[in-house]
Structures are given as C-alpha cells and as structure tokens.
Amino acid sequence: MSMVPFYEPYYCQRSRNPYLAFAVPLEQQLRQLEKQVGASSAASGAASKIGKDGFQVCMDVSHFKPSELVVKVQDNSVLVEGTHEEREDDHGFITRHFVRRYALPEGYEADKVASTLSSDGVLTIKVPKPPAIEDKSKERIVQIQQVGPISRGSP
C-alpha cells in the first residue's frame, strides 16, 4: 500500500524527497528577493538622480522638524543628518537618528549645493550642472586644416 495519495496530482509532480516537499520554486524566490530589495530602497525614502538640471536628491524627512535636520558639505560629499529625541507616536515612544552621505558627481561644485524643505516633509538637495558639462552638449564647427599640397582635382 502506497503512502502517496493518488488523488493529489500536485504532490505527484513534485519531488518525493520529504525535505523538498515544501521548497519554493527558484522563480518565486527571485521575485520575493526583488520585492524585498526594492522595498528596502523605497522604504529609505531617498532618491537621487542626475538630470538635465543637475544633481538632485529628494528624501522624506517628515518625522523631523526643520531644526532637527542638518545639511553639510564635506569635501566632495553632501551629508544629511537628522536627530530627534524620544517622543510618543502611535506605537509607543521612539527616537530617530539618520546620517546619509551623497558623493557629488565629478565636476559638480560643492559650493553650489542648495536645499529646500517642503511643507509635507520632503527635503530636496540640488546642485546645478557645471558649465563644463553643459558646453559639451553644444554643437561647434571644427576647422579643417590642410596638410600637404592641394591636388589639382580639387576646386
């Protein structure tokens, strides 16, 4: 008499190894991992990008008052720090502290860093595109220099 139920086709398709009976398919594991990695970057509440206007960072700092935030330029990096003392929330008491460092892309000037804080708690840090990078995208005519004698077939 067999211990494997004959009426359960899904069980028959899987390996009969008892250790693998509840194994999750690889594709499903990868999807779960991608969701977790994506969720962790989204949960951080920060996004940086280099666009046509320059380098920009947007981050959700709605849990902090403006006086609890500091934005500093250190060497070729922008440091954002937020700290608040213990306060009560929906689940009890909480203390928060974070430090984020963003390396400025090559050519961007640390002296031109500017930050704004919106009323809904989004901190935006902007650095304008440097002139050297802007000039590279413009078109210019390159002069042709003649080398050697002019051939008779040329006008």
Closest listed residue to residue 81, CA positions, set 100, 104, 96 = 100
* Angle (CA) 64 74 115, round 5°: 45
Where residue 146 falls (left for φ over 0; alpha for ψ -120 to 50; beta otherwise) is beta
Give 24-51 pLDDT, tens digit per residue: 677 777 777 666 665 444 445 677 788 8
Domain that holds residue 130: 45-135
**CATH number for position 109:** 2.60.40.790
Taking residues 124-146, report their average pLDDT.
73
Q: Over the stretch 94-121, which tens digit does the pLDDT of each residue have? A: 899 999 999 998 888 888 999 999 889 8
In a domain, 25, yes or no: no
Strand partners, 117: 123
Q: What is the mean pLDDT of residues 62-76?
A: 90
Q: What is the pLDDT of residue 2?
A: 54
Mean pLDDT check: name the lowest of 30-34, 65-69, 75-79, 151-155: 151-155
Provide the percentage of residues in the chain whose pLDDT is more than 70.
Answer: 66
What's residue 35's pLDDT?
65
**Number of structural domains in the chain:** 1
Instruction: Give domain status of residue 82, yes or no.
Output: yes
**pLDDT, position 72:** 93
